Amino acid sequence: MMRDQGNAELTGCPEAARPALVRYLAGEISAELAIMQLLLGLGGLAQITECLAALPKQPAIRVLQNILVRHQSGLAGTAALVEEGLARERTGAIAAIREQFDRAVAIAPEAAVALYSLGSAETLGRATAEIAVRLDEWGLLGPNITALDIGCGIGRLELALAPRLRAMTGIDVSPGMIEEAQKRCAALANVGFAVCDGMSLAAFDGRCFDLIFAVDAFPYLVAADPALAERHIADAAHLLPRGGALVILNYSYRGDLDADRNAVADLSLRYGFTVERNGTRDFTVWDGATFLLRRKG
């Protein structure tokens, strides 16, 4: 539908809004991602409303306007994260990242996990279900599979995947995130959570996982120190058996997918993985890039 609308006349909107609108009107990103990017670019809901009102009326623009109305409550929390600087990628110490997410989850749990959810549990659920479907399509789920979730947030993937796995452990640097995850997943007998240091997976030495995955966690490791991302891949190689899978959904937020592909390919070669998916775009609700690595053997 979006592709048939053509690009609206964008001169009525600030320059900061135009890249997101162009991509959205071209059908490259979802409406939710467009609203997220407009919020980041313009800084507030009032500015988005004003921008959209200045555009020629067409169905694609009305979809965005309807989202602003339908998700008012969640968007208020999402906007609060942006206004308080809690939606920015942090560089430097893991401690700063921990503080960021502890503060964010207390304000808007769904938006803290995925800003594109716009604070909506329904939107986050759709995105999570899509990830579960892809993992299943790639043959990574099953009743004999034990999984480790790096950067588990509020436990959304635990809720979605626990019925399809033997056991699952979620880890996060944020105690606030882990507390929220434990509440939401209290009824899941095969799920456990732990606060991690964000430096390595050394706490799991001696354990074995069939599947290790990280959804939007590696970008924070790369931003803090690329060596941390490398350490996690090296540790994953020790925790996975031959044929075990490491799934990284988004390696960085630097906006250079080719650089990410090269980095992951290099690390995979160094630590005994083969690359089955190297930066593929497999989702519709969000624009995550898939890196699926398989332990050699």
In this prediction, residue 250 has a pLDDT band, given cuts at 50, 70 and 90, of very high
Residue 189: the pLDDT is 97
- Is residue 297 over pLDDT 90? no
- Is residue 6 over pLDDT 50? no
If you average pLDDT over residues 171-182, what whole number do you get? 98
Write out the two tokens for 233: 């891949």
Say how far apart CA 68 and CA 159 lie, in whole Å.
28
Tens digits of per-residue pLDDT, 51-61? 999 998 899 99
Residue 57: the pLDDT is 87
Domain 123-295 bears CATH identifier 3.40.50.150: yes
Tens digits of per-residue pLDDT, 22-78? 999 999 999 999 999 999 999 999 999 999 999 988 999 999 999 999 999 999 999
Determine the length of the chain.
Answer: 297
Residue 68: the pLDDT is 95
Domain-by-domain residue ranges, the chain?
A: 2-70, 123-295
Say how far apart CA 213 and CA 267 lie, in whole Å.
16
Residue 5: the pLDDT is 42
- Is residue 101 over pLDDT 80? yes
Residue 4: the pLDDT is 40
Residue 3: the pLDDT is 40
**CA distances in angstroms from 293 to 44, 53, 120, listed in the order given:** 39, 45, 31
Write out the two tokens for 225: 């120190």
* Residues 201, 236 contacting (CB under 8 angstroms): yes
Q: Average model confidence (pLDDT) for the chain? A: 94
